Structure 1
């Protein structure tokens, strides 16, 4: 697989190599053929029928949720990188193997913060792949709610006996349609519990209304990205995730590795897009020679190879930082910015090399291009991460004066 040797430098375990290589074979041989399957919903995402069929194959192959062990423990982030990159070799691979957002991040958060009760009630069905989940944080701009700035959160929760009552709106909630587990973030103004709170809920719930599921540039995830109204949702107090008022801290527990996981999966997709583009350029002839022998084409593919190596290096570097126990917000921001930009250039070059074929659905290249474009926004736009990094530079400068 072109572009994967950094794992040797960062010490991927033999166990992870065995798992990752098994995942790669499964995705290439069993899941890639589904890329032309016509079972898609109104916005182009895989239907639940298609998802369940692919997950059935993953269970048979022993690659369902491969980064979480039978005892509930997780692979290290470095080992996870080796596995998730390979699951991403097809846009459908992470769905089939249950390594896709938002489920992967939600499982990570619940595993690290959830009580034994919450893990038993909600986590098992996610790890098994029997249920999908959604993470309710972003809010509509026309409502003045939280987007990249979670401190603007307007969804409110208040105590009512042994329950909390939640009211508000959410938007771009990936996979909400069809999800069976939700993690809802809301703001408390209760004395002694001020701040953000998180709640685990069963879905669907009549108090959670899907207003619309817009068509978006990406369509790799079932359920789309819904806009939601939450109207007097009653949640038992024991379904609060962690402590009241600590929601922003828990969000960082989830978001830092989740950003990195996105990088892992889409790196795998770009590795595959590069393979397709190289194959095309070596087979196609123009002006009496193969396309790859034209510098304008060959140089793009050579740059892609370089960019793949740089992206891989960033992924493993950030993973190694997270494995030290550091929250890794700085490193995950840097990696998200750098890898998203590198992968965007790779995907664009692949489309360009393939010409007219590159913008058709005859291969996954055009989809990878669309997915990477969306990735540059999701989990924090590039500009927000750069702004955060600039603030840290300023803070460090002040400390030195």
Structure 2
């Protein structure tokens, strides 16, 4: 259960997180293109626990701070100021999203077995949902992996791909479809599966341009994988419904973390603009540079506002908050990319070299326009929801508005 936090407590936690990231994490960042060593990460996690900034979102009874979602944004942004910060503070995908879902719908026994070790940072997890074509990707209805009901449990067969964090993960939350003939309730089902299960095989790695998610993005195969009945998370046939508990907040926390990195990029650009002189003036005094800086400030502040609005709505009205998270994800993923791209432009040749981390930042945030549903899919869903809402208003006679959009005015 989340704790009650005052604004002063949130500000204090944010300040302490900022200090920890600057003093402990940033000096330990690997060179651009390299991964954080697991032993080094474990040491930094111990330091984060000692500093009282570890797992801010996780339940207090499992070693977290119990921060409610409406207060996550400033803390997650502070963590995201370093590309390895969220991993060190144990608020990185996919574990953070899995923790929230386990907290919301797992049984007490499942929470003790899976949520506790995950929240304490003892293990990592993954969320196998995406599949090779023609399986599930942006369209979850295309789910191909099957879960068949058998005596005493379930048998899973399927091929998943691009499963973030799967290498070295302790367990998976697997999304599979089940038919009416195999279950009391047809649909999709989520199942908790130990990665050590003999029916699970981690396959070939998919090499991507991002580096911050420990465990990569490999293929994962389920071949005659048996799990007992107590492995069902939430309930048979309810997988898609319960996945919404995870997907909306997970989109938003990506926005929070990457906005923190955009702030870092803007700070780098400001430092360069202050120090660099061109044509007898400092770069920051030239109009074209000022325009780039101003546009980045606008993108940062607008992203911050929509993130906070969505987080507040998720706390009070999860259905509407999940819908708005599509807007936040689409806008922020594009805005963050723009901020970092402008920082590179302002830093010139150094911006595209490994002398500065900006090029790697661009590599980290570029996939976000694809991860958690492509932006094109989200835009389609955003438009579809808006049209459906308008149709309902018209049908109810509550949106007459004198058909303003269709009027032609007689100006004779």
* TM-score normalized with structure 1 length: 0.92
Rounded to whole Å, the distance in 2 between the matches of 1:346 and 1:62 is: 31
Structure 2 equivalent of residue 245 of structure 1 = 237
Q: In 2, are the aligned partners of 1:45 and 1:224 still within 8 Å (CA)?
A: no
Name which of 100, 109, 112 aligns with 1:117: 109
Larger mean CA deviation between 201-210 and 180-189 belongs to 201-210
Runs in 1 of length 4+ with deviation above 4 angstroms?
A: none
Task: Kindly tell me the number of residue pairs found equivalent between the two proteins.
Answer: 385
8 Å Cα contact 1:155/1:186 also seen in 2: yes
Distance 1:254 1:69, change over 3 A: closer
Please identify, of 68-77 and 93-102, the stretch whose mean Cα deviation from structure 2 is larger. 68-77
Counterpart position of 2:218? 226
Q: Which residue number corresponds to residue 264 of structure 1?
A: 256
- 1:14 is aligned to 8
Q: What does residue range 66-105 of structure 1 map to in structure 2 within 5 Å?
A: 66-71=56-61, 74-105=66-97
Equivalent in the alignment of 1:147: 137
Write the deviation string for residues 293-347 of structure 1: whole angstroms up to 9, x where unpaired.
2222221011111111111001101011111132222210111111111111111
Match of 2:159 among 160, 164, 169: 169
Contact between 1:183 and 1:198, CA under 8 Å: does it hold in 2?
A: yes
Tell me the equivalent position of 1:58.
Answer: 48
Please provide the CA RMSD for this pair: 1.6
Given that residues 58 and 100 in structure 2 are in contact (C-alpha distance below 8 angstroms), is that contact kept between their aligned partners in structure 1?
no
- Which of 162, 166, 169 is matched with 1:179 structurally? 169
Distance 1:368 1:157 in 2: 39
Give yes or no for contact 1:64–1:129 (8 Å, CA) kept in 2: no
Structure 2 segments unaligned to the other structure (5+ residues): 396-412
Contact 2:60–2:66, Cα closer than 8 Å, also in 1: no
Q: Aligned partners of 2:47, 2:354: CA distance in 1, in Å?
A: 24
Alpha-carbon distance in structure 1 between the residues aligned to 2:19 and 2:295: 27
Where do residues 1-400 of structure 1 align in structure 2 (5 Å cutoff)?
A: 13-36=7-30, 44-71=34-61, 74-141=66-133, 144-189=134-179, 190-327=182-319, 328-399=321-392, 400=394
User: Alpha-carbon deviation of 1:67?
Assistant: 2.4
Measure, in 2, the Cα distance between the counterparts of 1:215 and 1:288: 45
Q: Which has the higher contact order (CA 8 A, sep 6+)?
A: 1
Q: Is the 8 A contact 1:46 1:221 kept in 2?
A: no
List runs of 5+ in structure 1 lacking aligned partners.
1-10
Moved more, 62-71 or 368-377: 62-71
Larger Rg: 2
In the superposition, the TM-score normalised over structure 2's length comes to 0.90
Q: Distance in 2 between matches of 1:36 and 1:254?
A: 30
How big is the shift at 1:117?
Answer: 0.7
Other-structure match for 2:407: none
Matched-pair contact (CA < 8 Å) for 2:30–2:36: no
Change (3 A) 1:359 1:370: same
How far does residue 46 in structure 1 lie from its aligned partner after superposition? 2.4
Question: Shift of the alpha carbon at 1:398?
Answer: 2.3
SS of 2:219's equivalent?
A: strand
